[in-house]
Amino acid sequence: MNHSSRQTTIYIGLNDSETRVQKFDSQRYISILKGACRSYKVAFSVQEISGGYFHEDGRYTEENTLMLTLIDVPEQIATDLAKDLCAFFHQESVMVTSSPTSVVFIKERL
């Protein structure tokens, strides 16, 4: 069955906002993220990606980033989760995107 849904993606950089380096192994950050999602009772998927961006002052930074994908999570819960992850990971900010999406569950048995 196909139904309309909303996808929210939260991008959390792993470089510390003050030291500008990643303090811990990525798996430690993923473990913290999983615990936060569990406490918010949201289903999720997570990927580790690499990216680069410019700060407001013009500095360029490259860092490892966690890309957290949520489907049909209420906006306020996604925002609260993003705020917690921003604080837990000691970030200046995290980026949140959202868009409509189509969800189809395929079931097949032999």
Summarised one tens digit per residue, pLDDT across range 11-65 is: 999 999 999 999 999 999 999 999 999 999 999 999 999 999 888 889 898 999 9
Superfamily of domain 6-49+63-97: Ribosomal protein S10 (3.30.70.600)
Residue 1 clears pLDDT 60, i.e. is over it:
no
Given a cut of 80, whether residue 3 has pLDDT beyond it is no
| Averaged pLDDT of the chain | 94
CA dihedral for 10, 15, 18, 20, sign (positive or negative) = negative
Domain residue spans of the chain = 6-49+63-97
Q: What is the mean pLDDT of residues 72-97?
A: 96
For the chain, how far is it from start to end, CA to CA, in angstroms? 20
What tokens appear for 71 in the block?
């489907």
Question: pLDDT exceeding 90 applies to what percent of the chain?
Answer: 83
- pLDDT at residue 53 in the model: 87
